[in-house]
Structure 1
Amino acid sequence: MNEKANLPVTDYSKLAMEYSIRPVHSSNINIQSEEKFSAVVEGVEAIYSMHDYKTMYKIPNLYDAMIYGMLGCRTPALLSEKFEQLLDQHSKEQELRVLEIGAGSGAFGQALLNNSRRLKIIGLDIVEEAQEAAARDRPFVYNDYIVDDLCNLSHESLSTINSFKPNCVGVASATGWGNHIPVAGFEKAFELLSAGGWFIFHVKPNDPDPECIALNQWIDKKIADEDIVDVQRGKIFHRYGVGGNEIYYDYIIGRKSLSAA
């Protein structure tokens, strides 16, 4: 088992202050897809949609300043901690080959590396600007980074992933609301995971969004059918909403059954 990576620590609260980030209040403030914030970039104040990743990733650490600095997001750190605790009950010597889907700018990858584990990580995101942000803001995280549609992977992307033989698939990005990974994407990622490999997943329970409902049904069926075994499930604090409300997600960590298709 490796020593901790001792990766650089970023003060996200300080970044949020440097960008003068403020929540933008509206009548739809409690709908996650409608949340907005203002920031001052190069002396110009502008309003940003919280899920306009292409725009935010072009600006160094702006997304991180917003999600981790202003809204106190804890999902990458807490998911990584839960995974570490579960691994303590199993083999500590296994080298993890992680396929991180919806990798974004690399916060979850960095959290995984901060644990005392031997691992390699391939990031995958549909947004080219995410790859650019990860290379700029966290160049030490990924062994490779693929920009592609998880639901329609190119031959080259499939070849890269299959050669990597991931024994862990992880996701710590948001789910649902029409602009995140759909159920078909999670199904493809599960298909790419080696039998016996770890699956790290989180989803917002009791959410009216149709995609969130579908994702909850999908993971519940995987567990009920014993396609995922050795399951640990619980609730973790995700982040604050723009209106100050606390948002919690369910996390699910388990192994892909040796008999899963």
Structure 2
Amino acid sequence: MADAFAGVRLLGPPVTDGEYIELSEHETVHLHEYTRIYAVPGLYEHVVQERLQCRSPQVAAEGLLRAAASLGLEPESMTVLDVGSGTGLVGELVRRGGVAKVVGVDALPAAREACLRDRPGVYADYVVGDFQLGDGLREALSPYAFGGLVSAGAFGGTHATPRALVNALGVLPPGAPVAFTIHEQWMDEADPDGFGVAVERLVADGRLELLERTRFQHRVTTTGEPIFYQLLVGRTG
């Protein structure tokens, strides 16, 4: 597969608007132009997982499995919600870890199409929707009795908001394990609208108990600089 992408070059990041990928001499796309990148089988994994050494999927999946074990839960009995499923790597990893059933959610139809093309059978269902919007997605997920939540890099920045995190946790029963990764800049507790404050409120209100909070290298930029995220592992209250 790597030979198929021999001509792909990583560019940037320009100061103004981030990182780019040169697909050919005729086409350059932004790293977060997911619809275009997902359209090419294996391209996202080649660039983000292999070239940029992204670790969030593995870190989040392992965090969820640790939380389940610490709570005495059997993965074989769990239905897990995967928020921001993308091409399905996280779902694949938690299924390998023994989780019985995974339901994916992503705001992009292109993500669902890519996942069903590249990883058929990983998800029991894959719903296109946005937790920021709330009720419609909640209704679509109502047939499932979720016992856990996992998310790798879906929260923060131009992705899902703190409100989306609150809404996603709201579909879980008390005592369910959760694991998600967020860029450390969005966890700045000085930002009243950031995830740091949102997580503090969830903990203070008893809606989330943190079991782990660790810093790790999420990936490198297209010029090789490290990007650090936080892994938050806990259980719902």
Same fold (TM over 0.5): yes
TM-score (norm. length: structure 1): 0.80
CA–CA distance in 2 between the matches of 1:164 and 1:145?
12
Could you tell me how far 1:184 is from its partner in structure 2? 1.6
CA–CA distance in 1 between the matches of 2:131 and 2:88?
17
Q: Is the 8 A contact 1:166 1:193 kept in 2?
A: yes
CA–CA distance in 2 between the matches of 1:198 and 1:227?
12
Q: Aligned pair in 2 of structure 1 residues 68, 53: CA closer, same or farther (>3 Å)?
A: same
Number of residues of Structure 1 aligned to a counterpart in Structure 2: 235
Q: Aligned pair in 2 of structure 1 residues 119, 16: CA closer, same or farther (>3 Å)?
A: farther
CA–CA distance in 2 between the matches of 1:36 and 1:186?
28
Q: Is the 8 A contact 2:68 2:74 kept in 1?
A: no
Deviation string for 1:189-218 (max 9, x for gaps)? 011112221222221224599989611221
**Aligned with residue 71 of structure 1, among 30, 52, 66:** 52
Pairing of 1:71-90 with structure 2 (within 5 A)? 71-90=52-71
CA–CA distance in 2 between the matches of 1:16 and 1:200?
34
Q: Aligned pair in 2 of structure 1 residues 57, 142: CA closer, same or farther (>3 Å)?
A: same
Q: Aligned pair in 2 of structure 1 residues 86, 175: CA closer, same or farther (>3 Å)?
A: closer
Worse-superposed segment, 118-127 or 80-89: 80-89
Where does the alignment leave 5 or more consecutive residues of structure 2 unmatched? none
CA–CA distance in 2 between the matches of 1:82 and 1:119?
17
Could you tell me how far 1:86 is from its partner in structure 2? 3.1
Q: Confirm whether residue 35 of structure 1 aligns to residue 19 of structure 2.
A: yes
Instruction: Could you list the structure 1 runs, at least 4 aligned residues long, displaced by more than 4 angstroms after superposition.
Output: 207-213
Where does the alignment leave 5 or more consecutive residues of structure 1 unmatched? 1-13
Q: Aligned pair in 2 of structure 1 residues 158, 83: CA closer, same or farther (>3 Å)?
A: closer
TM-score (norm. length: structure 2): 0.88
Q: Tell me which amino acid in the other structure corresponds to 1:80.
A: A
Identity %: 23
Partner of 1:140: 121
Partner of 1:51: 32
Could you tell me how far 1:147 is from its partner in structure 2? 0.8
CA–CA distance in 1 between the matches of 2:191 and 2:2?
32
Q: Tell me which amino acid in the other structure corresponds to 1:49.
A: H
Q: Tell me which amino acid in the other structure corresponds to 2:20.
A: K
Could you tell me how far 1:226 is from its partner in structure 2? 3.0
SS of the residue 2:206 aligns to: coil
Deviation string for 1:40-67 (max 9, x for gaps)? 4xxx652111111111111112111110
Q: Confirm whether residue 24 of structure 1 aligns to residue 23 of structure 2.
A: no
CA–CA distance in 1 between the matches of 2:176 and 2:187?
31
**Aligned with residue 152 of structure 2, among 172, 193, 200:** 172
CA–CA distance in 2 between the matches of 1:126 and 1:212?
25
Partner of 1:105: 87
Q: Is the 8 A contact 1:206 1:213 kept in 2?
A: no
Could you tell me how far 1:159 is from its partner in structure 2? 3.3
